[in-house]
């Protein structure tokens, strides 16, 4: 009997096809787990204040990460739109691709988005309360969600660098969200770093490969990741610099401060 990486995120991170240590990962799905791999827990005041956590990984590693709300926002909007007629994620992403860029930005981790009865109304309310244009089409709402996630990923990556004191040169997105081409490109653009997307089934792949390691077929994490790189086609998204991402990041930093309320 073999005990593999016993948490889905641990298995997914084991299957990140990184070739070196200077990477961050985003295990992307309903939630987004954004972090780095370290050899010892980070227990600093800065880590606590930024609400990061240390979770056990494979081969003596720790996953130093932050949980971001993720594609839950899009899933809940789609659920409401589907009450009129069935709508696919592909249709919604195409609408977002056509929507004007650099629209309103919300903090995906705002508590109002955790269990709303109407996610669309909650997003529009957050935009209105922060003095931003209210998205009035499906494409604009989805674009708001994806750009907001990309900016939040940027916020987390910058704090990972500051807290760990080491550079992050690339980002690997694994899990179902790696199939969202627009989100992957926006993440590269917002963070200014290349994004490697895939594998989508990282949890299953990591689980199987950790068991192979336990049976002596693989020597460690480097071997596991080399197998993933040889076995899976990974998409590369190069960043397109744009100064408007700076302004978008500033708007997110102000998103908790409503007009007339002290922050």
Compute the distance between CA of residue 78 and CA of residue 72 in angstroms, rounded to an integer. Answer: 10
8 is catalytic: yes
Closest CA to 115 of 75, 65, 156, 67: 75
Distance of CA 109 to the CA centre of its chain: 12
Instruction: Count CB-CB contacts under 10 A for residue 150.
Output: 24
- The C-alpha angle 162, 253, 74, rounded to 5 degrees, equals 100
Compute the distance between CA of residue 74 and CA of residue 197 in angstroms, rounded to an integer. Answer: 19
Compute the distance between CA of residue 229 and CA of residue 232 in angstroms, rounded to an integer. Answer: 6
**Is the separation of the CB atoms in 229 and 17 below 8 Å?**
yes
Which is catalytic among the residues 8, 110, 223, 242? 8
Beta bridge partners of 65: 35, 53
Q: What residues are annotated to the active site?
A: 8
């Amino acid at each position: 009997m073999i005990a593999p990486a016993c948490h889905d995120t641990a298995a997914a991170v084991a299957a990140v096809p990184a070739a070196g240590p200077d990477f961050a990962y985003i295990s992307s799905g309903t939630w987004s787990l954004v972090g780095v791999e370290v050899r010892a827990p980070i227990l600093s005041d800065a880590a606590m204040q930024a609400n990061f956590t240390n979770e056990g990984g494979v081969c003596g590693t720790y996953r130093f990460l932050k949980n971001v709300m993720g594609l839950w926002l899009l899933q809940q909007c789609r659920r409401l739109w589907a009450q009129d007629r069935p709508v696919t994620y592909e249709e919604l992403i195409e609408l977002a691709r056509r929507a004007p860029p650099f629209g309103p930005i919300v903090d995906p981790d705002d508590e109002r988005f955790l269990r709303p009865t109407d996610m669309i109304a909650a997003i529009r309310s957050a935009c209105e309360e922060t003095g931003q244009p209210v998205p009035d089409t499906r494409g604009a709402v989805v674009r708001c969600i994806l750009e907001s996630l990309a900016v939040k990923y940027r916020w987390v990556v910058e704090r990972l660098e500051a807290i760990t004191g080491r550079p992050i040169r690339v980002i690997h997105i694994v899990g179902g969200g790696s199939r969202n081409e627009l989100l992957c490109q926006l993440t590269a653009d917002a963070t200014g770093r290349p994004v490697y997307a895939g594998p989508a089934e990282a949890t299953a792949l990591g689980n199987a490969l950790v068991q192979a390691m336990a049976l002596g077929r693989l020597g460690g994490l480097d071997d596991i990741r080399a197998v993933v790189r040889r076995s899976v086609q990974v998409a590369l998204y190069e960043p397109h610099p744009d100064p408007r991402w700076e302004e978008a990041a500033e708007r997110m930093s102000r998103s908790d401060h409503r007009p007339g309320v002290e922050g």
